[in-house]
């Protein structure tokens, strides 16, 4: 059987299994926690496309994610459109943002792109804080329906939407990895000059990757206002997204589609479990230390470590 | 005089004073990023840490913040030496400084910022020196000492650094390490040692800039974030490794940002920082004051 | 012998700040020609290569390859037009296997479907098929050079620039590489060999160009060029 088909069927089966298990559990909190983990699967997979394959570090995950979240709010305010069109619009806006940032900086050394993305969050936050249409610094409310047919609750609906997005993101990552785009990006990461010399259109591939990366991050953020019912700049631009987007792929194993999935499930579950017991600051602090320790001692992440053992 | 003109003049003068602070923040980065090619994105976070320890020590000892900044600088030098040693051991030596090294400094930045919240709490801290509320006047132009003193302090620090880099043997070696590590080896100088020393100096400068920062404005753990764009923009505009270029870019930057704040409101100034950075990267990556490649 | 021109460089020059690295170089190359390019360190050989290959986006003068203007084209576009190069220091894609290294150019040259077979064929040409699944860091010096050549061959080049492709190799290994270059040349590829190893240059080249201080000072048959007093004085005398 075709490996692509096998992946999609397996992912769909796993997804259905998850939905069934959560229904049996019948706990609203489980949907809430599940969504939390899955949004990070999307975010980490998105980061991995540019960071893992091409070796270009995007520090602006929070900015791209917030761009997605606020795109969804704008679309709702302007046209009264709901979650699904919001996600599509978010992909468009955040994708263009990625393309623009990439276009302006990617002709230079990679660190300039990283620095630009680092400032991007700060500036987008300034813009949103000054933008009354989306609530400015006070934030915006979204009144979400209690339930939506045929789902048992709106929580389940959001969970399933995010589940589909997560499977999609992992699948896109996997497709990139197996396509010539992925090979080209790996060649760029290893040696950009040599890649160019053997006919790899490096700038074009990098721009495709930044656009894809930005769009997926926007997608990860689009349901956020629906998830929390209220969104303010502080929450949307939270540093937690920026650090997790980098830590999860690197800890799981950057440059493989499964790495970010593993890292996200592991780290997000840990954080979800830990918020109950320890403060959120300590929580993030631990993620920071894990990131530093992993890149120093296990630069290939968990997957790489297992592969070496095998 | 026309009130708008007075406003503009004052905006320019206090922009220049603010630029002095930015120069202090960016000069340390010019050493690390410009000369050593180490993309230390944690530099502003270390500066803010310096500001917090200045507040803590200054309050405890009852000393002037700038004096405390000088006194604590050796400790930050040692911290910088430690950070570089780890960076060199785990990344530079393995040739993995690009992706992993960036992630490392990002992690360090994050640990520092969250650590500050845990130790000092998320609220603003300040330490007013005795001259904080004195303002000299030159005709229509205000010269608040709260801005003037740290600006001069910063210029003094950068001046000393400049002399050190141009007059001493080790200083010259630091300037050379960026160009050609191999030549240093031939001179029997260990480039790693030189880089360790230089990175220590860079962090010591960050902490002194933190002292200047706390005189100008209250600080909070996340204050470093808005400085990232500023210091990198200044460093790149200044031509990376050039201290005079760095000062010029910082002063220009301070003026533009301050005039923007005067006429459009202070919340727009970070957008100015980022806009400048992008424009410089897109059209003049060798910097405004650097030589064309 | 054809009078067709493959590569035509006219008035090529490059300045770095005020320093003139290369000035007014004219070189013509016929299809299938074997040209040796020599000169002391800093004489502008590498600068010339970088102008041709597109590493330097801007330079004086103009270059055409098979009638196509190269000016303003990025290196990857030039590679597609049939210009391949090797680097002074081998530049493999370190995380990819030897086979994948050679597949990369094929994927982007319209041969995605049969990339693996073609890559194996290229590896066989340089006698590296047995190492297809090794990583570049597991290869010896000469094997890394062979990999560079295989990657260049994959582009199906009309012109190969071998930039010091033999530096650091033993005598026997130098002979192996020369043999490979001859094989490639017989298949129709023109070769510019930039080399300090005079034995290799004289054995391989049918024509010799000498650069000194950024200028072309001689161009002709190897025997005649090497006998010129200015060549001896500027270059060979100093060795």
Instruction: Give a yes or no: residue C80 inside a domain.
Output: yes
**What pLDDT score does B269 carry?**
76
Query: How far is it, in rounded angstroms, from Cα B160 to Cα B198?
Result: 14
> How would residue C43 be classed by pLDDT, with cut points 50, 70 and 90?
confident
Alpha carbon of A80: minimum distance to chain B alpha carbons (Å): 30
CATH number for the domain spanning B205: value is 1.10.3470
**What pLDDT score does C1 carry?**
45
CA angle C227, C230, C234 (to 5 degrees): 110
Stated as kind and residue range, the H or E segment containing C9 is: strand C7-16
> How would residue B71 be classed by pLDDT, with cut points 50, 70 and 90?
very high
Alpha carbon of C17: minimum distance to chain B alpha carbons (Å): 7
Instruction: Give a yes or no: residue B290 inside a domain.
Output: no
Over the stretch A88-145, which tens digit does the pLDDT of each residue have?
A: 999 999 999 999 989 888 877 778 888 888 888 888 888 888 888 888 888 888 877 7
ipTM here: 0.88
Cβ pairs bridging B and C (under 8 Å) = 3
**What pLDDT score does A309 carry?**
67
Which chain A residue has its CA at the smallest distance from B232's CA?
Answer: A115
Task: Give Cβ neighbours of residue A229 (< 8 Å, ≥ 6 apart).
Answer: A141, A142, A143, A144
Instruction: Give a yes or no: residue B292 inside a domain.
Output: no
Comparing B204 with B240, the larger pLDDT belongs to: B204
Of A59, A119, A289, the CB nearest to B111: A289
**What pLDDT score does B46 carry?**
95
Supply the DSSP string of B239-254, one letter for each residue.
TSS-HHHHHHHHHHHH
How many domains does one find in chain C? 1
Is the pLDDT confidence value at C3 over 90?
Answer: no
CATH number for the domain spanning C60: value is 3.40.50.300
Predicted TM-score (pTM) of the model is 0.89
**What pLDDT score does A150 carry?**
83
Supply the DSSP string of A156-194, one letter for each residue.
HHHHHHHHHHHHHHHHHHHHHHHSHHHHHHHHHHH-HHH
Token pair listed for B173: 């070696």
> How would residue A258 be classed by pLDDT, with cut points 50, 70 and 90?
very high
List phi, psi (to 5°) of A161. Answer: -60, -45
Q: Are B65 and B214 in contact (CB under 8 A)?
A: yes
CB–CB contact A288 B100 (8 Å): no
Enumerate the residues of chain B whose CB falls inside 8 A of the CB of residue C91: none
Is the pLDDT confidence value at B208 over 70?
Answer: yes
Query: How far is it, in rounded angstroms, from Cα A284 to Cα C78?
Result: 49
Of C75, C80, C93, the CB nearest to A187: C93
Is the pLDDT confidence value at A310 over 70?
Answer: no
Enumerate the residues of chain C whose CB falls inside 8 A of the CB of residue A203: 74
Interface of A with C in 167-206 (CB under 8 A): 180, 183-184, 186-187, 189-191, 193-203
Cβ pairs bridging A and C (under 8 Å) = 77
Q: Give me the domain span that covers residue B174.
A: 3-283
Maximum average pLDDT range among A31-45, B83-97, C56-70: A31-45
Query: Counting every residue, how long is chain C?
Result: 239
CB–CB contact C74 A203 (8 Å): yes
Instruction: Give a yes or no: residue C76 inside a domain.
Output: yes
CB–CB contact C75 A190 (8 Å): no
Maximum average pLDDT range among A196-200, A300-304, B189-193: A196-200
> How would residue B241 be classed by pLDDT, with cut points 50, 70 and 90?
confident
Instruction: Give a yes or no: residue B72 inside a domain.
Output: yes
Among the listed ranges A221-235, A272-286, C70-84, which one has the minimum average pLDDT value?
A272-286
Count of CA atoms in the C-beta half-sphere (13 A) of A191: 19
Mean pLDDT of C14-35: 87
Enumerate the residues of chain B whose CB falls inside 8 A of the CB of residue A288: 107, 110-111, 114
Find the Cα–Cα–Cα–Cα dihedral A173, A174, A178, A182, rounded to 10°: 10
Stated as kind and residue range, the H or E segment containing B195 is: helix B191-216
Maximum average pLDDT range among A48-52, A149-153, B267-271, C59-63: A48-52
Enumerate the residues of chain A whose CB falls inside 8 A of the CB of residue C50: none
Q: Which residue has the tokens 């919001």?
A: A86
Alpha carbon of B266: minimum distance to chain C alpha carbons (Å): 41
Q: Give me the domain span that covers residue C26.
A: 7-93+157-238
Q: Which residue has the tokens 């030189």?
A: B194
Of C93, C103, C108, the CB nearest to A190: C93
User: What SS3 state is found at B289?
Assistant: coil
Enumerate the residues of chain B whose CB falls inside 8 A of the CB of residue A132: none
Mean pLDDT of A173-193: 93
Alpha carbon of A51: minimum distance to chain C alpha carbons (Å): 15
**What pLDDT score does B223 carry?**
87
Mutate to test the interface with B, among A111, A120, A130, A185 (most CBs of B within 10 A): A111
Alpha carbon of A73: minimum distance to chain B alpha carbons (Å): 22
Over the stretch B77-99, which tens digit does the pLDDT of each residue have?
A: 999 999 999 999 998 888 766 78
Alpha carbon of C87: minimum distance to chain B alpha carbons (Å): 20
How many domains does one find in chain B? 1
Supply the DSSP string of C73-100, one letter for each residue.
--HHHHHHTTEEEE-SS----TTS-HHH
Query: How far is it, in rounded angstroms, from Cα A196 to Cα C84?
Result: 11
Angle, helices B145-167 vs B65-87, to 10°: value is 40
- Phi-psi label, residue B245: left if phi above 0, alpha if psi -120 to 50, beta otherwise: alpha
B286: preceding bond cis by omega (within 30 degrees):
no
The pLDDT mean for chain A works out to 89
Instruction: Give a yes or no: residue C119 inside a domain.
Output: no
Is the pLDDT confidence value at B22 over 80?
Answer: yes
Is the pLDDT confidence value at B293 over 50?
Answer: no
Token pair listed for B97: 């400084």
Among the listed ranges A254-268, B32-46, B165-179, which one has the minimum average pLDDT value?
B165-179
Instruction: Give a yes or no: residue C26 inside a domain.
Output: yes
Is the pLDDT confidence value at B130 over 70?
Answer: yes
Q: Which residue has the tokens 């520090």?
A: A59
Whether residue B95 lies within 8 A of chain C, CB to CB, comes out as no
Among the listed ranges A218-222, B115-119, B289-293, which one has the minimum average pLDDT value?
B289-293
Enumerate the residues of chain A whose CB falls inside 8 A of the CB of residue C97: none
Which chain C residue has its CA at the smallest distance from A185's CA?
Answer: C104
> How would residue C235 be classed by pLDDT, with cut points 50, 70 and 90?
low
Parse chain A into domains and list their residue ranges: 3-235
Interface of B with C in 274-293 (CB under 8 A): 291-293
Query: How far is it, in rounded angstroms, from Cα A186 to Cα B227?
Result: 33
Q: Are strands C215-220 and C207-212 parallel, antiparallel or unpaired?
A: antiparallel
With b meaning 16 or more CB within 10 Å and e meaning fewer, what string describes C188-216? ebbbbbbbebeebbeebbebbbbbbebbb
User: What SS3 state is found at C165?
Assistant: coil
Mean pLDDT of B224-246: 85
Q: Which residue has the tokens 């692509």?
A: A4
Find the Cα–Cα–Cα–Cα dihedral B247, B249, B250, B256, rounded to 10°: 150
Query: How far is it, in rounded angstroms, from Cα B196 to Cα B169?
Result: 15
| Chain A neighbours, 3+ Cβ pairs < 8 A | B, C
Q: Are A105 and A257 in contact (CB under 8 A)?
A: no
Which chain C residue has its CA at the smallest distance from A183's CA?
Answer: C104
Comparing A239 with B159, the larger pLDDT belongs to: B159
Enumerate the residues of chain C whose CB falls inside 8 A of the CB of residue A194: 87, 91-93
Cβ pairs bridging A and B (under 8 Å) = 123
Is the pLDDT confidence value at C110 over 70?
Answer: yes
From the list B124, B138, B136, the residue with the least C-alpha distance to B217 is B124
Q: Are strands C60-65 and C7-16 parallel, antiparallel or unpaired?
A: antiparallel
User: What SS3 state is found at B40?
Assistant: coil
Angstrom distances, CA of residue A177 to CA of A169, A171, A180, A257, B284: 12, 10, 8, 7, 35
Q: Over pLDDT 70: what percentage of chain C?
A: 96
Query: How far is it, in rounded angstroms, from Cα C37 to Cα C163?
Result: 9
Over the stretch C123-165, which tens digit does the pLDDT of each residue have?
A: 998 889 899 899 999 999 899 999 999 999 999 999 999 998 8
Whether residue C17 lies within 8 A of chain B, CB to CB, comes out as yes
Is the pLDDT confidence value at A224 over 90?
Answer: yes
> How would residue C78 be classed by pLDDT, with cut points 50, 70 and 90?
very high
Count of CA atoms in the C-beta half-sphere (13 A) of A294: 27
Mean pLDDT of B196-224: 92
């Amino acid at each position: 059987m075709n490996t692509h088909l096998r992946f999609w069927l397996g992912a769909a089966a796993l997804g259905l299994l998850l939905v069934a298990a959560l229904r049996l559990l019948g706990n609203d909190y489980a949907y809430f926690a599940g969504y939390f983990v899955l949004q990070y699967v999307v975010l980490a997979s998105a980061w991995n496309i540019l960071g893992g394959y091409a070796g270009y570090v995007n520090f602006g995950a929070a900015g791209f994610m917030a761009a997605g979240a606020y795109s969804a709010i704008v679309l709702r305010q302007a046209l009264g459109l709901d979650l699904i069109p919001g996600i599509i619009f978010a992909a468009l806006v955040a994708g263009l943002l990625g393309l623009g940032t990439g276009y302006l900086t990617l002709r230079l050394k990679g660190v300039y792109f990283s620095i630009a993305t680092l400032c991007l969050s700060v500036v987008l936050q300034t813009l949103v804080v000054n933008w009354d249409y989306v609530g400015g610094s006070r934030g915006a409310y979204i009144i979400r329906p209690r339930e939506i047919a045929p789902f048992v609750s709106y929580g389940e609906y959001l969970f399933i939407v995010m589940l589909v997005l997560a499977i999609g993101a992992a699948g896109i990552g996997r497709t990139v990895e197996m396509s010539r785009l992925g090979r080209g990006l790996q060649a760029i990461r290893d040696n950009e000059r040599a890649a160019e010399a053997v006919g790899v259109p490096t700038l074009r591939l990098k721009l495709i990757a930044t656009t894809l990366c930005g769009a997926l991050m926007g997608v990860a953020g689009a349901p956020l206002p629906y998830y929390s019912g209220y969104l303010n700049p502080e929450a949307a631009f939270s540093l937690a997204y920026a650090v997790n987007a980098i830590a999860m792929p690197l800890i799981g194993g950057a440059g493989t589609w499964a790495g970010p999935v593993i890292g996200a499930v592991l780290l997000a579950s840990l954080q979800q479990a830990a918020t109950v017991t320890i403060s959120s600051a300590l929580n993030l602090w631990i993620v920071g230390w894990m990131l530093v320790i992993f890149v120093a001692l296990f630069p290939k992440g968990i997957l790489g470590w297992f592969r070496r053992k095998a | 005089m026309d009130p708008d003109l007075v406003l503009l003049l004052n905006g320019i003068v206090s922009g220049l004073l603010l630029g002095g602070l930015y120069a202090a923040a960016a000069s340390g980065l010019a050493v690390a990023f410009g000369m050593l090619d180490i993309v230390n994105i944690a530099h502003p976070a270390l500066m803010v840490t310096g500001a917090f320890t200045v507040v803590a020590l200054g309050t405890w000892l009852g000393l002037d913040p700038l004096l405390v900044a000088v006194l604590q600088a050796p400790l930050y030098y040692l911290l910088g030496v430690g950070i570089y040693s780890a960076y060199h051991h785990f990344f530079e030596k393995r040739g993995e400084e690009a992706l992993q090294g960036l992630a490392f400094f990002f992690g360090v930045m994050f640990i520092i910022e969250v650590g500050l919240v845990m130790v000092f709490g998320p609220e603003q801290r300040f330490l007013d020196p005795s001259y904080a509320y004195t303002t000299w006047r030159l005709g229509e132009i205000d010269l608040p000492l709260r801005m003037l003193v740290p600006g001069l302090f910063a210029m003094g620090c950068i001046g000393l650094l400049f002399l050190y880099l141009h007059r001493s043997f080790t200083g010259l070696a630091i300037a050379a390490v960026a160009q050609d590590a191999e030549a240093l080896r031939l001179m029997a100088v260990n480039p790693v040692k030189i880089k360790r020393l230089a990175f220590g100096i860079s962090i010591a400068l960050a902490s002194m800039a933190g002292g200047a920062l706390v005189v100008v404005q209250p600080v909070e753990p996340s204050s470093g974030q808005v400085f990232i764009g500023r210091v990198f923009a200044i460093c790149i505009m200044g031509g990376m490794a050039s201290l005079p270029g760095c000062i010029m870019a910082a002063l220009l930057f301070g003026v533009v940002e301050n005039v923007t704040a005067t006429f459009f409101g202070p919340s727009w100034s970070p957008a100015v920082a980022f806009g400048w950075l992008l424009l410089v990267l897109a059209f003049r990556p060798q910097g405004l004051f650097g030589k064309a490649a | 012998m054809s009078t067709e021109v493959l590569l035509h460089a006219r008035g090529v020059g490059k300045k770095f700040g005020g320093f003139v690295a290369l000035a007014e170089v004219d070189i013509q190359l016929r299809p299938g020609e074997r040209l040796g390019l020599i000169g002391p360190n800093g004489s502008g050989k590498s600068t010339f290569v970088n102008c041709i290959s597109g590493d330097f986006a801007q330079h004086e003068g103009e270059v055409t390859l098979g009638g196509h203007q190269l000016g303003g084209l990025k290196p990857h576009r030039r590679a597609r037009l049939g210009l391949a190069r090797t680097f002074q220091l081998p530049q493999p894609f370190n995380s990819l296997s030897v086979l994948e290294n050679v597949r990369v150019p094929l994927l982007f040259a319209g041969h995605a479907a049969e990339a693996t077979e073609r890559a194996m064929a290229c590896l066989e040409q340089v006698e590296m098929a047995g190492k297809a699944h090794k990583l570049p860091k597991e290869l010896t010096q000469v094997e890394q050079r062979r990999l560079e050549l295989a990657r260049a061959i994959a582009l199906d080049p009309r012109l190969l620039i071998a930039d010091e492709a033999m530096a650091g190799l033993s005598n026997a290994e130098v002979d192996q590489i020369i043999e490979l270059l001859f094989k490639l040349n017989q298949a129709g590829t023109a070769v510019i060999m930039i080399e300090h190893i005079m034995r290799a240059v004289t054995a391989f080249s049918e024509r010799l160009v000498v650069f000194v201080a950024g200028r072309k000072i001689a161009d002709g048959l190897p025997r005649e060029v090497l006998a010129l007093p200015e060549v001896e004085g500027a270059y060979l005398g100093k060795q």
